[in-house]
Amino acid sequence: MPLTLQQIRTNCAQARARMAQARAEKWAFGAFNLDDEATLKAIVMAAAAKQAPVLVEVSQGEVDDIGIDNVRDMVDNFKYQYGVEMYVNLDHSPNVEAAKDGIEAGFEFIHIDISQSNHDATEEEIIAATQEVVAYAQLTGAIVESEPHYFGGSSNVHEEGIDYEEIKKTFSTPEGMRHFVEATGIDTFAAAIGNLHGKYQVPKVLDLELLKLLRDATDCNISLHGGSGTPGHYFREAVQIGVTKININSDMRYAYRTTLEKVLAENPKEYSVAKLIGKEVIPAVQAVVESKLDDFNSTGKALVI
């Protein structure tokens, strides 16, 4: 059932305090995509096993498929059933109206990403839209995240290599970050330091020296998108520098699909696919989430719900 405005404000205030605590204690929230009930259950079971706080996130595709209020209800039902600390993030919201819908639905984290839906959006257009979302988020206290440019890749498995000379052209800069944060008033800055959406054939390489410069540039929270396919030592170092939110999607989808393909091939006469998902797929995705929670140093950091 829908949360009251006061309940939403209380949840957002707690999430805000926990982000500050994460930075002070040098750990990060894992933000894991919800594709369906099975992935949500895998995330929740991992959070319970590791006693770690987590974000469950949906982008516009999942919102259109599941329904924004259904997402909120599903997360809350699992949250109380398993006794885990869990918040909802609206990831890559493509426009101001969609972001406002997330705020009204009680999502504690809102990522407004005009450039994702319009790669040619100017920085002025991105700033104006972000300012509007930041102002509207005062209704609930939701934590607003954004970035000043298009972030490459996609949440898929890519066959091509990574052209670092090309993506370095869109790396964040301390001066650009400071200007964007001051212009918009955002709570969280999505940094580009070699992270890239999707899973590639080669491991990703993060520029941790640049991350240190970004951390010194402003007091804003820093997030890393495109965490899949990144060696864990980068995450362990990043949280020590001050990253407090890391997004994971493709690694989970890869585990889901490859495991499902395997068990379907092994059980050609089993037509209860849900049974196979529960037995094999959920544990495989759960294992991915648990490994990330260890890398993010969030194991054992959950509040008792």
pLDDT score recorded for residue 195: 86
Q: Residues 98-110: what's their mean pLDDT?
A: 98
Q: Which CATH number fits the domain that encloses residue 227? A: 3.20.20.70
pLDDT at 132 over 90: yes
216 is annotated as an active-site residue: no
pLDDT band at 73 (very low <50, low <70, confident <90, very high): very high
Nearest to 87 by CA among 114, 105, 112, 62: 105
Domain assignment of residue 135, yes or no: yes
In a domain, 305, yes or no: no
Chain mean position to CA 25:
20
| pLDDT of 156 higher than 80 | no
- Summarize the confidence of residues 287-293 as an average pLDDT: 98
Judge contact between 249 and 269, C-beta under 8 A. Answer: no
CA dihedral 72, 73, 75, 81 (to 10 degrees): 160
What residue spans of 26-113 are helical by DSSP H? 37-50, 60-66, 68-82, 96-104
Instruction: Provide the domain limits for residue 190.
Output: 5-295
- pLDDT score at 115: 87
Whole-angstrom Cα distance, residue 14 to residue 195? 28
Mean pLDDT over the full length of the chain: 94
Query: Is 93 among the domain residues?
Result: yes
- Residue 300 within a domain: no
3-class state of residue 88 by DSSP: strand
Has residue 239 been placed in a domain? yes
pLDDT one-digit tens code per residue, 167-202: 888 899 999 999 999 999 999 999 999 888 777 776
Cα gap 212→80, rounded to integer Å: 38
- Total number of domains in the chain: 1
Amino acid at position 57, single letter = E
DSSP state string for 264-276? HHH-TT---HHHH
Q: Considering the entire predicted model, what is its pTM?
A: 0.94
Q: Per-residue pLDDT averaged across 78-106, rounded?
A: 97
In a domain, 189, yes or no: yes
Closest CA to 59 of 33, 40, 86: 33
Q: pLDDT tens digits for 210-266?
A: 999 999 999 999 999 988 889 999 999 999 999 999 999 999 999 999 999 999 999
From the candidates 64, 73, 76, 91, which is the catalytic residue? 91
In a domain, 23, yes or no: yes
Q: Is residue 153 part of a domain?
A: yes
Helix (H) or strand (E) holding 58: strand 54-58
